[in-house]
Structure 1
Amino acid sequence: MKLSIYFAIFLLLQLPAYAVVMWLSFHSHPTLFYAAEALLLLWTVFAVIFYRRIMRPVDTLAGGMHLLRSQDWNVALRHQGQPEVDSLVDVFNTMMEHMRNQRIALQEQRHFLSLLAREAPVGIIVKGFDQSDKLVNPSAQAMLKAFPELEKRLVEMPDGSDTTIRFNEGNMLRCLRRYFIDSGVKQSFYIIENIADTVATAERDAYVKIIRLMAHEVNNTVAGLSTALGTVDPDPDGLLAACRERALELSSFIGRFSEVVKTPAPQKAKTDPARMIRRSAPFLESLCAPRGIKFNIDVESAAPYIEVDEVQISQILVNVVKNAAESIGRDGRVDIIMAGNTLTVCDNGPGIPPEKAARMAEPFFTDKAGGQGLGLTFVREVLRRHGCRFSLSTGSDGITRFTATFPSLQSPV
């Protein structure tokens, strides 16, 4: 029951007593009657003052508590002229101002963190206490869409762990799992960074230095050796000629390594992919025909134009089709499909083992006898400079697919 109701009951209980006193004094003691009237008037004035000084400030504080309960932080109470109540009002107003400032600061921090998460180039995923997604920023959404198996790999990570996941298209993701306490409940979050470009640049810088050093030393030695062999009298057994020929072959071998690091920047131009593939088709077919491999192209006539260096992309087609033909051996099939802005080269060869799939684009890695491991390194370098996404994998149907997706342009009117 409210304090004001108790006060009203107190007043009502006193009124009958005053009425009886005034009734008895009216007939027997007129002086006492007038004194009782004066006392009643004084009591009424005191009750009004008591209500204004005590009950109204209490009602004001109760109203403030109601506003606080409804989380209305933009209010302040006025002083009531009562020192004790005014001190409570000051405490209340100070508390409201502090809570209002804290709320504004919290909103600003949340807005900043929201902008940071939305614009960050790394993926950020925050899980709730029930492992549902509380926050997935755009970068994380793109990564989960590009790599469907990523979510499963993240769930398997223990709290506090770091791991690097390499995908078969040469993409590498560095994933961190941490946790924080929210409302007394432990919740996990993930940070995912695509380090493919960083690793590719570091790898390229490393093998560029190695190749240049090899080329310098071998070419100098071979040049001196060839000159010296040319001045020696011919030998009847042809031994010196064989040595000279082998030295030139070694120089040619090193030259092929040097060509990888001398890949020029792409001269991009608006290109019709259907025309580009059809122009390369006769040569590509000649790579397959001697092995009895069927070659087929399936290109949309209305495929969107792409902005590429046609010479470099044609060379990529040569490398990929040649690798496909060599993996098949004999009597297989190679198909080139251009759907939209996505190029796919399929073959029904023996496929790529899972343990080798993620390493196919690494420099010098090869599973072919006598291979140099530079073909897919060249392919990755060119496609990276074109801003393409690519993958190389064997599907559950046994078909190996090389897929490259180009940034598309609108076809000219």
Structure 2
Amino acid sequence: MRIRGLFWILTVLLLFVLAIITYHAFYEESSFMFFFVEGIVILTIIYLLVFYSRIIKPLDIIGNGMELLKEQDFSSRLSHVGQKEADRIVDIFNKMMEQLKNERLHLREQNHFLDLLINASPMGVIMLNLDKEVLSVNPTAHKMLGVPFLSDIVGKRLPELDSPLAEELALIPLYDSQTVRLNDANIYKCTHSSFVDRGFHHSFYLVEMLTQEVFKAEKKAYEKVIRMIAHEVNNTTAGITSTLDTLESTFSEMQDTEDICEVLRVSIERCYSMSHFITNFADVVRIPEPQTKTQPLNGVVFSCKRFMETICLNRNIRIVMELDPVSPIVDLDN
């Protein structure tokens, strides 16, 4: 039974006892006893009213505060009741409510910031629920998976998705990271990890595209190898051609050595051709210096149009040119 009920029961019992005493005092025809009992009744009523305002009312206010906590209404506050002990409890309660409100606002702001950060991240993020079903994906992961509609991803397991990347992700063990190369020449670094929320492990995947980085690394490696080959070949052919030039000049002063001199000249030309080929091969991996010359601009544009027409037709693109009748003469590198 609540304290309010006990208070009213005690009040009724006290008033009943005082009523009996007043009845006996009235019929005993003693005016002193009658007024004395009436004074006790009045004092008892005053005491009960003070007791109610000091004890029962603060408890009711605290009970209302518990209801606010139950309903998670952190914006409401309790007012003071004029009693020192109860007001201390009210102050503590109001301070606790203010702190809970601030923490909830901070968590909401932080969660909103993290949502914006994940959605704007260039790295794909795939969240799973406890049943290993896709809970959410950010736009980057949605694009990487290649599934047209988001509804075809959320609520399904990774092996159930029509995506080669999802099939590879499903094979990655927990707390492991692998590099995946797909048939479309795209390269992804995939990490499978988890975090603890409310005592449960939630799995997630981080997918980072490495295609451009790998291509750049491979290109740098090829450049280094080709330049090293060109350097070694040019150094070797320089010595060989120098020796062959010396032999040719020596044999040319002798008689009946025309065949030998011809063979030496052919060998020298072959060495120069190989050196020129290796030099051009090294130029492939680096942008050469522009070699400009004066030529009509309309002719250059028309040749570029003829070159690009085949590629554009395959993609349903039509090239339209409106050239000046008088072609400008410019210096450029085709």
Distance (Å, rounded) in 2 between the aligned partners of 1:298 and 1:304: 7
Q: Does 1:175 find its partner at 2:198?
A: no
Equivalent residue number for residue 19 of structure 2: 19
TM-score (norm 2): 0.73
> CA 1:300–1:118 in 2, change beyond 3 Å: closer, same or farther?
closer
Distance (Å, rounded) in 1 between the aligned partners of 2:318 and 2:117: 35
Q: Does 1:197 find its partner at 2:212?
A: yes
Aligned partners of 2:230 and 2:282 also within 8 Å: yes
Which amino acid counterpart does residue 48 of structure 2 have in structure 1? Answer: A
Q: What does 1:6-405 correspond to in 2, within 5 Å?
A: 6-28=6-28, 29-145=30-146, 148-222=163-237, 225-226=240-241, 229=244, 232=248, 233=252, 236=259, 239-241=263-265, 243-263=267-287, 279=309, 299=314, 303=317
Distance (Å, rounded) in 2 between the aligned partners of 1:10 and 1:305: 100
% same residue: 35
Distance (Å, rounded) in 1 between the aligned partners of 2:269 and 2:38: 138
1:159 shift after superposition: 1.3
Higher helix residue share: 2
Aligned partners of 2:128 and 2:203 also within 8 Å: yes
Q: What's the CA shift string for 1:157-185, capped at 9, x where partnerless?
A: 11111111122343211111111111111
Distance (Å, rounded) in 2 between the aligned partners of 1:131 and 1:193: 21
Aligned partners of 2:77 and 2:94 also within 8 Å: yes
1:300 shift after superposition: 6.3
Aligned partners of 2:164 and 2:182 also within 8 Å: no
Distance (Å, rounded) in 1 between the aligned partners of 2:50 and 2:286: 98
Aligned residues: 284
Q: What's the CA shift string for 1:23-64, capped at 9, x where partnerless?
A: 222221332222222211111111111111111111111111
Distance (Å, rounded) in 1 between the aligned partners of 2:33 and 2:196: 75
Distance (Å, rounded) in 1 between the aligned partners of 2:228 and 2:123: 36
Which amino acid counterpart does residue 81 of structure 1 have in structure 2? Answer: G
> CA 1:216–1:109 in 2, change beyond 3 Å: closer, same or farther?
same
1:86 shift after superposition: 2.5
- Secondary structure (helix, strand or coil) at the match of 1:165 reads strand
Equivalent residue number for residue 314 of structure 1: none
Higher RCO (CA 8 Å, separation ≥ 6 residues):
1
Which amino acid counterpart does residue 80 of structure 1 have in structure 2? Answer: V
Aligned partners of 2:309 and 2:319 also within 8 Å: no
Distance (Å, rounded) in 1 between the aligned partners of 2:271 and 2:165: 49
Equivalent residue number for residue 345 of structure 1: none
Distance (Å, rounded) in 2 between the aligned partners of 1:52 and 1:236: 132
Higher strand residue share: 1
Q: What's the CA shift string for 1:332-373, capped at 9, x where partnerless?
A: xxxxxxxxxxxxxxxxxxxxxxxxxxxxxxxxxxxxxxxxxx
TM-score (norm 1): 0.60
1:148 shift after superposition: 2.0
Whose Rg is larger? 2
Which moves more between the two structures, 77-86 or 47-56? 77-86
Q: What's the CA shift string for 1:307-350, capped at 9, x where partnerless?
A: xxxxxxxxxxxxxxxxxxxxxxxxxxxxxxxxxxxxxxxxxxxx
RMSD: 3.2
